[in-house]
C-alpha cells in the first residue's frame, strides 16, 4: 500500500501536532462530518451520494464518486488537500490524470487574499468547486487524527512504513521513537507557553483540566466552556454544571460513553471539586515547584525510584484530584497539561518526569507496537515517553525525510 506522505502541523487543544493527508482522506471516506446544509465555497448546495473508492496509488484520492452540486449530478474523482493552493503546488493543474476530478475537498477555508483569481482548474480547463471540511467537523481535528492513528495500530502489519521501521536496528528504532516523542514534548511546551502568556497560570490550568475531562470526544466543547466561564465564576458558584452543559447543547458526543464519563456528569464533578478546593491551581503550582530536578537519562524504573515518582503520583491524585478523575485520567492531565505548563512557567525542568510518568488513557495497540519493536519489556517499562513516540509516528504517517529523520 502506498502511504500518503503529505503532512502538516496544526494547532490542537494540547499543542501543535502533525497530521497527514491520510486523516483528511479517512474523514471524507467515512463522511465523519455534519451533513446539514452542505455547500461549496461558491455557495452551491452539495449532496454526497457516494464518497468514492479510496485510491492508495497515484492519481486522485478517490475514484468513481457521485455528488450533486447545485442540483446537478456529477460522477468522477475527488481530490483531498489541506489548502486550496495545494492543487497547483502538487502540479495537478498540469496533470491530465486529474481531469476527471469533480470536487476539490480542502481542510482550511481559504483566505480571500490567497484565492486564485480564476479558481482551481484541471489541465483540460474545467473549473472545480471546492468544499471546506473544517467548518463541518463534529469535533476538533486532533481528536480525528488520534482516532485514525489508534485505529491503524490494529493493522500495523499492513503498513509499509511500520514494516520498514521494524527492519531498523534496535538502536535506530529507539532513536526514531525518542525523536518523535521529543517533538511532541516541545510542541506541548510551546503551546503551554502561549496559553500562559495570554491567560496566566490559573486560567491555563482551569482550561486544560476541563479539556482533559472531556476525553477525546468532547474536548472541543469543554475548551469553549472553560473560556466562556473562567475559574472565578466556578469558585463563587456563579455558574453551574447545567448552565455550562446547556451552553454547548448540540455539540456533545455522548454515544457509547460510560455514565461516569458523560460530560454533564464531568461538569457536575468539576463544580464540586472547585467548591472544595478553591484556588486549586496555586496548590498544584506549589506541589510541582517542590519537586527535585533529575536528569531523564537511564531506565524508567531507575528514574521512578530516584524521584519516588509513585509517591508523587499518588500525592497528585489524592491531594489534588481524588474523586474528580481516576488515576489514568489524572496521568493524562499531567502529561498533556500540567508538566508542559510547569516547564513553560519555569517551575521545574520536567521533561524527565514527563518521559517516565505512567501513560494515561492509552490503548493496547501502543503496547503491542512497542513489544513488537522490542522496546518495551520487563527491563524497559511502559512509560509516557514511549507511548507519545508511538502516537507521534502514527500521527505523522511514519518516519522519513518529511516526518522524522533517522539519526
Q: What is the DSSP string of 274-288?
A: HHHSTTHHHHHHHHH
Return the pLDDT at 263: 92
What integer pLDDT is reported at residue 23 of this predicted model? Answer: 80
What digits encode the pLDDT tens for the residues 291-300? Answer: 999 999 889 9
Short-list 277, 147, 148, 163, CA closest to 209: 277
**Domain boundary assignment for the chain:** 33-136, 145-364
CA 303 to chain centre: 28
The most confident of 18-22, 28-32, 101-105, 255-259, by mean pLDDT: 101-105
Q: Are 46 and 40 in contact (CB under 8 A)?
A: yes
User: When comparing pLDDT for 240 and 30, which is higher?
Assistant: 240
Choice between 258 and 178, residue whose per-residue pLDDT is larger: 178
Q: Does the structure show a pLDDT above 70 at 5? A: no
* pLDDT of 308 strictly over 90: yes
pLDDT of residue 112 exceeding 60, the answer is no
More confident residue, 117 or 262: 262
Higher pLDDT, 115 or 238: 238
357 DSSP 8-state letter: S
Looking at residue 354, its pLDDT comes to: 97
Rg of the chain (C-alpha set): 23
Confidence tier at 11 by pLDDT (50, 70, 90): low
Question: DSSP letters of 196-255?
Answer: HHHH-HHHHHHHHHHHHHTTTTSHHHHHHHHHHS-HHHHHTT-S-HHHHHHTTTT----T
Question: Between β-strands 62-69 and 53-54, what pairing exists: parallel, antiparallel or unpaired?
Answer: antiparallel
Evaluate if residue 156 carries a pLDDT over 80.
Answer: no
- Residue 93 confidence class, pLDDT cut points 50, 70, 90: very high
Work out the average pLDDT over 365-378: 86
pLDDT of residue 369: 87
Q: Is the dihedral of CA 18, 26, 34, 259 positive or negative?
A: negative
* pTM across the whole model: 0.72
Task: Examine the pLDDT at 92 and tell me if it is beyond 90.
Answer: yes
Q: Is the pLDDT of residue 256 over 70?
A: no
For the ranges 9-18, 57-66, 107-116, the lowest mean pLDDT is seen at: 9-18
Give the containing element (helix H, strand E) for 54: strand 53-54
Full 3-state SS string of 111-180: CHHHCCCCCCECCCCCECEEEECHHHECCCHHHHHHHHHHHHHCCHHHCHHHHHHHCCCHHHHHHHHHHH
Alpha helices in 316-404 (DSSP H): 327-333, 339-345, 351-356, 364-372, 384-395
pLDDT band at 34 (very low <50, low <70, confident <90, very high): low
d(CA 169, CA 67): 48
What are the residues whose beta carbons fall under 8 Å from the beta carbon of 213, sequence distance 6 or more? 222, 266, 267, 269, 270, 324, 325, 329
pLDDT at residue 139 greater than cutoff 90: no
Please check whether residue 178 is in contact with residue 388, taking contact to mean a CB–CB distance below 8 angstroms.
no
Closest listed residue to residue 313, CA positions, set 286, 340, 333 = 333
What are the Cα distances from residue 190, in Å, to 184, 198, 202, 349?
Answer: 10, 13, 18, 14
pLDDT higher than threshold 90 for residue 108: no
Residue 152, pLDDT > 80, answer no
pLDDT score for 234: 94
Q: Decide if 384 contacts 367 (C-beta within 8 A).
A: no
Segment 169-218, tens digit of pLDDT:
999 999 999 999 998 899 889 889 988 999 999 999 999 999 889 887 78
Helix (H) or strand (E) holding 9: strand 7-12
pLDDT (0 to 100) of residue 37: 83
Q: Are 363 and 148 in contact (CB under 8 A)?
A: no
The confidence band for 368, taking pLDDT boundaries of 50, 70 and 90, is confident
How much is the pLDDT for 135?
Answer: 81
* Average pLDDT value for the chain: 85
Amino acid at each position: 500500500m502506498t502511504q500518503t506522505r503529505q503532512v502538516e502541523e496544526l494547532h490542537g487543544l494540547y499543542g501543535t501536532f502533525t497530521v497527514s493527508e491520510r486523516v483528511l482522506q479517512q474523514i471524507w471516506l467515512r463522511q465523519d462530518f455534519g451533513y446539514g446544509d452542505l455547500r461549496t465555497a461558491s455557495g452551491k448546495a452539495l449532496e454526497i451520494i457516494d464518497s468514492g473508492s479510496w485510491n492508495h496509488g497515484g492519481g486522485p484520492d478517490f475514484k468513481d464518486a457521485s455528488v450533486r452540486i447545485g442540483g446537478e449530478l456529477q460522477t468522477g474523482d475527488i481530490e483531498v488537500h489541506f489548502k486550496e493552493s495545494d492543487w497547483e503546488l502538487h502540479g495537478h493543474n498540469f496533470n491530465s490524470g486529474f481531469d476527471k476530478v469533480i470536487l476539490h475537498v480542502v481542510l482550511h477555508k481559504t483566505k480571500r487574499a490567497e484565492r486564485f483569481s480564476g479558481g482551481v482548474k484541471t489541465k483540460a480547463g474545467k473549473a472545480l468547486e471546492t468544499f471546506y471540511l473544517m467548518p463541518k467537523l463534529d469535533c476538533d481535528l486532533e481528536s480525528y487524527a488520534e482516532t485514525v492513528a489508534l485505529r491503524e495500530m490494529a493493522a500495523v502489519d499492513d503498513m509499509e512504513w511500520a514494516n520498514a521501521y521494524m527492519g531498523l536496528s534496535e538502536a535506530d528504532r529507539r532513536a526514531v521513537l525518542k525523536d518523535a516523542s521529543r517533538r511532541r514534548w516541545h510542541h506541548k511546551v510551546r503551546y503551554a507557553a502561549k496559553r500562559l502568556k495570554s491567560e496566566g497560570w490559573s486560567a491555563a490550568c482551569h482550561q486544560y483540566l476541563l479539556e482533559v475531562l472531556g476525553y477525546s470526544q468532547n474536548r472541543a466543547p469543554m475548551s469553549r466552556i472553560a473560556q466562556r466561564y473562567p475559574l472565578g465564576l466556578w469558585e463563587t458558584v456563579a455558574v453551574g454544571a447545567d448552565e455550562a452543559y446547556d451552553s454547548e447543547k448540540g455539540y456533545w458526543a455522548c454515544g457509547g460513553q460510560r455514565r461516569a464519563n458523560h460530560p454533564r456528569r464531568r461538569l457536575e464533578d468539576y463544580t464540586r471539586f472547585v467548591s472544595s478546593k478553591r484556588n486549586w491551581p496555586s496548590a498544584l503550582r506549589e506541589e510541582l515547584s517542590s519537586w527535585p530536578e533529575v536528569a531523564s537519562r537511564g531506565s524508567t524504573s531507575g528514574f521512578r525510584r530516584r524521584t519516588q515518582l509513585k509517591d508523587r503520583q499518588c500525592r497528585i491524585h489524592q491531594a489534588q484530584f481524588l474523586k474528580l478523575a481516576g488515576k489514568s485520567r489524572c496521568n493524562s492531565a499531567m502529561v498533556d497539561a500540567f508538566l508542559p505548563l510547569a516547564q513553560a512557567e519555569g517551575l521545574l525542568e520536567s521533561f524527565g518526569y514527563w518521559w517516565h510518568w505512567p501513560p494515561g488513557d492509552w490503548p493496547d495497540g501502543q503496547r503491542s507496537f512497542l513489544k513488537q519493536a522490542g522496546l518495551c519489556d520487563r527491563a524497559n517499562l511502559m512509560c509516557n515517553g514511549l507511548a507519545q513516540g508511538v502516537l507521534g509516528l502514527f500521527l505523522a504517517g511514519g518516519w522519513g525525510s518529511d516526518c522524522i529523520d533517522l539519526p
